[in-house]
Amino acid sequence: MLTPTAKVILGMVRLGRRTGYEMKQLVDVSTRFFWTASYGQLYPELRRLEDDGLIAGEEASTSGRRRRAFALTDAGADALDEWLRSEDAGVYEYRDEGMLKIFFWDGLAVEDRRRILQLSRGRHEEVLRHLEAIEPAVRRRGGGPYAVLRSGLALHRFSIDWLNELEAELDRDREREVT
C-alpha cells in the first residue's frame, strides 16, 4: 500500500516534476487546497520509494548545486495506476473550526455570530482569489488539473454563497427580535 505522500510523488513524477523541490512547488499552487505535502514528508518518502524501486533517482546537478532528479520505474507506473484504479475512495477529511463555532454559537449575540460567518467567508474568498488567478493558465492545459480547479472554484463559491445566506437569516432573526 502506498502512503498518502507516495501517491502525490508518483503522480507528480508522471506529470514531469523530477526533483523534490519541483514537486513541492506544484503542490503549493495546485493540489494544496485538497492535498498538501511538506518537505518533512516529501524527502524521506522519496528515499523510501527509491529503496522500494518505484522511482529511480540520478544526480542531476547542473552546476555546483546538488540536485536529484527522479523518474518513474515500471513498477512505479504500475503502482500509480493500481492506486488510481483501486476500488477505494480513499481519504476524505473535512475539518472546519468555523462550523464548530456555528454549532456552539447559540449563546452568542447576533453581531458575534455575524463575525464568525465573516471570518469563514474571508478564508474562502482568499482561496477563491488564488484559484481565479491561476484559472487562465490551467484552462489552457486542461485535463485532470483543470477539472480539479473548476471543482475548487465551484466549491468555494458555493461556500461563500451559503455563508452569505446564513448572514441574511441573521438579519431576519434580529428584525423579528426588534419587532
Interaction site with a second copy (CB under 8 A): 4, 7-8, 11, 14-15, 30-31, 33-36, 80-81, 83-85, 87-108, 112, 115-116, 119-120, 122-123, 143-145, 147-148, 151, 154-155, 158-159, 162, 166
Helix (H) or strand (E) holding 69: strand 68-72
- What residue type is assigned to position 49 of the chain? L
DSSP letter at 89 equals -
67 vs 108 by CB, closer to a second copy? 108
67 vs 174 by CB, closer to DNA? 67
108 vs 134 by CB, closer to a second copy? 108
Whole-number Å distance between alpha carbons of 157 and 14: 31
57 vs 98 by CB, closer to a second copy? 98
110 binds, among a second copy, DNA, none (CB under 5 to 8 A by kind): none
What phi and psi, each to the nearest 5 degrees, are found at residue 144?
Answer: -55, -50
20 binds, among a second copy, DNA, none (CB under 5 to 8 A by kind): DNA
Contact residue for DNA among 16, 51, 66, 179 (CB under 7 A): 66
Question: At CA 11, angle to CA 7 and CA 16, rounded to 5?
Answer: 150
Distances 11 to 14, 18, 21 between C-alpha atoms, Å: 5, 11, 15
Q: Radius of gyration over alpha carbons of the chain, in Å?
A: 22
Cell output for 135: 484559472
Whole-number Å distance between alpha carbons of 150 and 156: 10
97 vs 161 by CB, closer to DNA? 97
Contacts of DNA in 28-47 (CB under 7 A): 36-41, 43-44, 46-47
> Which residues of this chain interact with DNA, rule CB under 7 A?
3-5, 19-22, 25, 36-41, 43-44, 46-47, 62-69, 91, 95
